[in-house]
Structure 1
Amino acid sequence: MSREQRAAIDALLRRSDDFRSDTPPSVHDLRDGFAALMAQMRVAPGIRTTDTTAGGRPALLVEPDAGPRPGTILYFHGGAFALGSPQTALSLTAALVARTGIRSVSVDYRLAPEHPFPAGIDDTVAAYRSLLDAGHAPESIVFAGDSAGGGLTVTTCLRAREAGLPLPAAIVAFSPGLDATRSGASMTTKDGIDPIFTRQALVRTGQLYTAGADPHQPLLSPALYADLTGFPPMLVQVGTNELLLDDSTRVAARARDAGVDVILDVTADVPHVFQSFTGVLDEADRALDRAALFVTQHVDAAG
């Protein structure tokens, strides 16, 4: 069954060719197309959502209907730093909440090109600081995110550490974007295999975010330049059909070399942020089960 599921998802993503087109659509059209695609994803039952704020930014509180257990998943949505919202990530946040019983606060951070680097990082750090200021222990908070938001799980930790803030209990990164130089070997070896992206498209959307900033720095390319010493345990999940595969493999190696507890969880023949297809793709559900176990183990271990 899984082979047929993967083939169907690959075909679906190739029909949505906004990121593969030789004639790039406008940011407005990209945002509309991304929102329409993500609206097709299944949302776990038994959860409720409430509009809230975090660090001065709008946010979405996602909770189990039965009431949350202690802890917070601070979630950063994907979308190449230019697209998306907490709503487009709801299949992921709801899946984690339903599996763990822990609430999620999903941050609507500012987007490029209107708000380029480092606006998004400023917003996610402010959201984290607001949780700490409200009395939530860092040991009860897990950073999680997908794609660009997966990158923010790492860069938010870097900026928080610079600010003297305690780091969270753990990091969960789904297909993170961690190299604005676009220099990974998978950018070439997965060309045509990746059903979503081309190298040209990733360079183009990346430039909206970097806005002329040098990508050869830790906050833009942490897979290459970040000092991860002292980081909390990390779970990095990625598929083998991704142009961004090497962003994950290299940050995991960098974390290991820095003495960080890290799990690199690679799933064969699946696309970027395949976990979004929960309820449709067997590999997505199994990966989310593993992510939920990782979250609960680390929040529980913190007491």
Structure 2
Amino acid sequence: MEPVIDFRPGVSREARRFAAFMRTAVRPMFAYGPMRPSMLRLAMLLDLGAPMVMRPPRGTEIGRVRLGDFHGEWVRPAGGSGARVILYLHGGGFFCCGLRTHRGLVARIAERSDAVAFSVAYRQLPTAPLAMSMADALAAYRWILDQGCDPERLVIAGDSAGAYLAFTTVIAARDAGLPVPAGIVGLSPLTDLDHEVRASYEYTRRDAYIPAHRLGALKRLLLAGMEPDAVVSPCDRDLRGLPPVFMLAGSREALRWDAELMAGRLAEAGVPHLLQIWEEQVHVFPAFAGAVPEGRQAIEEIGSFVRARTSSHPLGVVA
């Protein structure tokens, strides 16, 4: 089975301008800020200012839920039927972003999917290593199932680091004998912690705002106090038995490497999948749908996948 990759050509003027803005205004902060706990705590403040620029659509209802040592929130778009559920895991390199930064994206995906979403505020660096983030994601999945959610009406989704958790959660659920969801969605997915291999990828240095050379330091923080082989990247796990997967990435972002690698591994495992590569889009471009028309188009594609996978009579791998 060959990897299924669909190249989406064409880039809007708005997308080019936005990429230029991210390259000049955002990349320097990630590229040159010290990768130490004090700096990571400052990065967490990004979530507090997010509501000013990352607003959800009008009429979206939010309901907070406490889950032991972490929490989450229900995101209900106006007019949504609630016939299907999306468990969403936000990105941010395991050290920044949160429910507020991703509320607009999650609400738009839920709206176009005719779904409600449960967005998870899993614990992150500098106080929680990767293993704890993974444990929280799996606990949230168990909780959703305990609420009576039909796994055939459930899709797990995430962007960047959140996509890493989406894959590890489904793999852990399968290994624990739990039912797997109807599908997995990965936006610019991080699937490989081997930063040295990615460093040789032709687009790594062209990424608009993700400085891939910092991933080595981030990995050391994520795995602090753990055995080197304690955490195996999703791309290196046994992927057999996973549900259909939909992924997308920008053509000039560092994590295109991860997305293409994962597509190849899914093909080897016989897992139905589709990877869309969008020309010249930035990392997790659907999050910027308010500024980039391709982001809105991508959210429509995600919604089609979710609806197809969770309908009473699935239409296939993707719509």
State TM-score, norm by structure 1: 0.91
> In the TM superposition, what are the counterparts of 1:55-66 in structure 2 within 5 Å?
57-66=70-79
Q: 2:120 is matched by which residue type in structure 1?
A: V
Take 1:259 and 1:192, find their aligned partners in 2: how far apart are those partners?
A: 32
Structure 2 match to 1:13:
22
Q: Give deviations 1:262-283, integer Å, cap 9, x for gaps.
A: 0111101011101111132111
Aligned residues: 301
Does 1:153 pair with 2:166?
A: yes
Q: Is the 8 A contact 1:74 1:106 kept in 2?
A: yes
Q: Is the 8 A contact 2:129 2:224 kept in 1?
A: yes
Gapped regions of structure 1 (runs ≥ 5): none
Q: Is the 8 A contact 1:186 1:246 kept in 2?
A: no
> 4+ residue stretches of structure 1 with deviation over 3 A?
22-25, 33-39, 53-56, 183-188, 212-217
Compared with structure 1, are the counterparts of its residues 85 and 23 closer, same or farther at alpha carbon in structure 2 (3 Å cutoff)?
closer
Q: Is the 8 A contact 1:62 1:105 kept in 2?
A: yes
Q: Is the 8 A contact 1:275 1:287 kept in 2?
A: yes
1:254 corresponds to which of 257, 262, 265: 265
Structure 1 match to 2:277:
266
Does 1:68 pair with 2:81?
A: yes
SS of 1:70's partner is: coil
Does 1:103 pair with 2:112?
A: no
| Superposed displacement of residue 74, structure 1 | 0.3
Compared with structure 1, are the counterparts of its residues 293 and 237 closer, same or farther at alpha carbon in structure 2 (3 Å cutoff)?
same
Does 1:197 pair with 2:210?
A: yes
Q: Name which of structure 1's ranges 158-167 and 31-40 shifts more when overlaid on structure 2.
A: 31-40
Compared with structure 1, are the counterparts of its residues 116 and 295 closer, same or farther at alpha carbon in structure 2 (3 Å cutoff)?
same
Compared with structure 1, are the counterparts of its residues 78 and 226 closer, same or farther at alpha carbon in structure 2 (3 Å cutoff)?
same
Take 2:175 and 2:256, find their aligned partners in 1: how far apart are those partners?
A: 28
Structure 2 match to 1:242:
253
Take 1:284 and 1:247, find their aligned partners in 2: how far apart are those partners?
A: 20
Take 2:52 and 2:222, find their aligned partners in 1: how far apart are those partners?
A: 24
Structure 1 match to 2:190:
177
Q: 1:199 is matched by which residue type in structure 2?
A: A
Compared with structure 1, are the counterparts of its residues 173 and 205 closer, same or farther at alpha carbon in structure 2 (3 Å cutoff)?
same
> In the TM superposition, what are the counterparts of 1:78-227 in structure 2 within 5 Å?
78-185=91-198, 188-211=201-224, 213=226, 219-223=231-235, 225-227=236-238
Q: Give deviations 1:106-136, integer Å, cap 9, x for gaps.
A: 0110112311021111111111111212211
Gapped regions of structure 2 (runs ≥ 5): 1-9, 315-319
| Superposed displacement of residue 261, structure 1 | 0.7
Q: 1:4 is matched by which residue type in structure 2?
A: R
Q: 1:162 is matched by which residue type in structure 2?
A: D
Q: Give deviations 1:65-111, integer Å, cap 9, x for gaps.
A: 22433121000001111112111111210111121220000011011
SS of 1:143's partner is: strand
Take 1:264 and 1:69, find their aligned partners in 2: how far apart are those partners?
A: 27
Q: 1:222 is matched by which residue type in structure 2?
A: P
| Superposed displacement of residue 231, structure 1 | 0.3
Compared with structure 1, are the counterparts of its residues 123 and 22 closer, same or farther at alpha carbon in structure 2 (3 Å cutoff)?
closer
State TM-score, norm by structure 2: 0.87
Larger RCO (CA under 8 A, 6+ residues apart)? 2
